[in-house]
Chains A and B, each alone.
Chain A
Amino acid sequence: MSRTVAARADDLFQIIGPYFLIGLLLITWEMTARAKLIDPFLLPVFTDVLWRIITDLISGELARGIFFTMARTVISFAIASVVGIAIGVGISRIRFLKWFMDPIVFIGLPMPKIALLPVFMIWFGLFDSSKIAMTAFSASFQIIVTVWMGADSVQKELIWSARSLGAKPHLIPLEIIIPATLPRILTALQIALPICLIVELVTEFVMGGTGLGAIMLQASRNADSLGVFAGIFEIGLLGILLIRTLEIVRRRLLVWHQEESKPE
C-alpha cells in the first residue's frame, strides 16, 4: 500500500510534534544565553544549569534537599488526609458535628490559609512543626469538603443492605462509606497534594532551614542564579514524581471501580 507524502509528513509531525515546542524553547534559551543577549545573571546557560543539577546530585546536596522537602510534604499530606477524611465522614454521619462544622468549613475553604503563616510561626516555632502544621492545615479543608459531599451521596440502599446483613454500626463508615466514596476521596487528595507542595515551598521561602525551597532561597540571596534555576527544575521534578505516584495509586485502588473499566 503506497502512502501519500502528506500522510508521511503527518506521521513525522506526530512523532516530533510533542518535543517541538519544548525543544525550540530550550535551544532558544541555550543560544540567547550563550550569545550573552541576556544578562547571564537573569538567564544562565541551560547546559550550565543541567551541569549544576548533576553536580548537586553527585555531592548529595540534591538528595538531602529532596528528602527534607518531600518528607515534610508527605507528612503534612498524610495528616491532612487522615484528619480530612475522618472529619468529612464524621460530618456526614453525626448531626451535631455537621451543625458545628458546616459554617466553619464554608468560611475556611475559600480563605487563603497561607495568610496565617506568621501566626503559625509564632505558635509552632521556625522549624519543621510549623511548616508541617501550616501545610496540613492549608490542604485539609479541601479534603473535608470533598469527602463530606462524597459520603453524603453514598446510596442509602448500600448502608441499609449492610445493616440488614448484620454489619456492626460502628464498622459502617470503614466498611461501606469509605470504599463507596473512594473515587471522591482520591479526587480530593489529588487537589490537596499540589496545594501541599505550593504551601510547603512558601514556608521554606519564608522560614529558611532545610529543603529545596530553602536551598533556592539561599541561592537567590547569594545572587547564585544557577542555583535558583537548578532549584526550579529540581522542585518541578519532585512535583511530577509525587503527583504521578498519586495517579498510580488511584489506578491501583480503583481497579474494581467502573471508572477504570470505562473505555478511553
Chain B
Amino acid sequence: MLVRYLPILILAFIWEGVTRFWAVPDYLLPSLSSIFGAFIELAADDLWFHLSRSISRGGIALGSAIVIGITLGVLMAQIRSVRILFKPFVQLFYPMPKSALIPIAIVWFGLGDVSKVVLIFIGSLLPIVVSSFNSARGVDEVLVWSARGLGANNREVLWEVILPAALPEILAGVRVALAISFILMVSAELIIGNDGIGFVISSLGETGYYQGMWVGIIVISAVGFFADRLYVLGMRRILVWQESGA
C-alpha cells in the first residue's frame, strides 16, 4: 500500500520543498503545509456546507439520470416504435457538448440549484442511454432464444436474460456519466456560483486566498476519486457472478 503510493508522497515532498526553498509566491503555488493550514481553517468554517451542496446536487441529478437513462435505453432496444421515435433524438444530442447549455440554463432556471441539477442530469443522461441501448441491443440472440424455448415470457426475458447480460456495459456507461457529472458540477459552480465547491475555488481564487482555492481543488479531487472507487467496488460486487469479472 505504502510502496504503491510512494510516488505521490515523493511529489508532495518535491512540492513542499520547491515552494519553501525558492519561496514561490502564493499565487503561483502555495506550499502544501500552508494549504493544510487553510484546510483546518476552512473545515471549521463552511467547507462542509459547500461540499454537501455540491454532492447533493450531483447525487440527485446523476441518480435520476441513471433511472431514466437505463429505462429509456433498454426500452429503445426492446421496443421498435420507441427506438424509431427516440433514436434520432439521441443521435442528435449525444455529440453535443453539454456545457454549451450553461448560458441557457442560467436564463431558464436562474442561478440556483435547478439550473445546475438540470445541466448535470442532461449531461450524464445521454452516455447512460447510449450504453444501455447498445448493450441491450447487443445481447446474444441465442440466450434470448434459449430462454424462450424454455418457456420464458417477455417480462422474464427482459429481467432474467437481457438486463443481466447487458449489465456490465450499462455499469461502464454509468461510470463515464459519473465522471461527466463531476466535470459539469464543478464547471457550473465555477460559472454560476453562489455555493458549492466550484464556488469556493473561484471565489477564494478571485479574492487572492490561494491556499483556500487549493483546498477546494484538493477536496473535490478527493471526493471524485472516492466516488469512483466506491462505484468500482460496488460494480465488482454486482458483477461477481460474471466469469470475466468487472
Which A residues have a C-beta under 8 Å from some C-beta of B? 13-14, 17-22, 41-42, 99-104, 107, 109-119, 122-123, 138, 191, 194-195, 197-202, 205-206, 213, 216-217, 219-220, 225, 228-229, 231-232, 235-236, 239-240, 242-244
Contacts and interface: CB of A to CB of B under 8 A. Distances in A.
A107 B8 contact: yes
Given A194-B95, A202-B99, A232-B100, A112 B186 contact: yes
B142 to A, nearest CB: 15
Interface SS majority for chain B? helix
Interface stretch (B31-39, B143-151, B197-205): B197-205
Contact of B221 (A103, A107, A117, A205): A107
Interface residues on B, range: 35 or more
Nearest to A227: B103
The 5 closest A-B pairs by CB, nearest first: A110-B228, A17-B84, A197-B97, A111-B221, A118-B205
14 contacts: A21-B85, A100-B7, A102-B7, A110-B178, A110-B182, A112-B183, A114-B187, A115-B198, A118-B205, A202-B190, A205-B191, A213-B99, A228-B104, A236-B93
Contacts of A22: 88-89, 92
A200 B81 CA distance: 37
Contacts, number: 155
A118 B97 CA distance: 21
Given A122-B205, A202-B191, 10 more contacts: A18-B84, A104-B11, A107-B221, A110-B182, A112-B221, A117-B190, A198-B183, A200-B97, A205-B102, A217-B103
B44 interface: no
Interface of B: 4-8, 11, 27-28, 81, 84-89, 92-93, 95-104, 106-108, 123, 176, 178-180, 182-187, 190-191, 197-198, 201-202, 205, 213-214, 216-217, 220-221, 224-225, 227-229
B103 A19 contact: no
A138 B186 CA distance: 13
A112 B182 contact: yes
A239 B190 contact: no
Contact of A202 (B95, B179, B187, B216): B187
Nearest to A241: B95
A130 to B, nearest CB: 14
Contacts of B220: 111-112, 115
Which of B97, B205, B213 has the largest number of chain A CB atoms within 10 A?
A: B97
A153 to B, nearest CB: 12
Contacts of A235: 96-97, 100
A244 B99 CA distance: 19
B8 A104 contact: yes
The residue in A21, A119, A244 that gathers the most chain B C-beta atoms within 10 A of its C-beta is A119
B94 to A, nearest CB: 8
A113 B198 CA distance: 12
B96 A20 contact: no
B26 to A, nearest CB: 10
A73 B209 CA distance: 31
A217 B103 CA distance: 7
A215 to B, nearest CB: 11
B100 A201 contact: yes
Contacts of B84: 13-14, 17-18
A137 to B, nearest CB: 12
B176 A115 contact: no
A116 B216 CA distance: 10
A242 B96 CA distance: 10
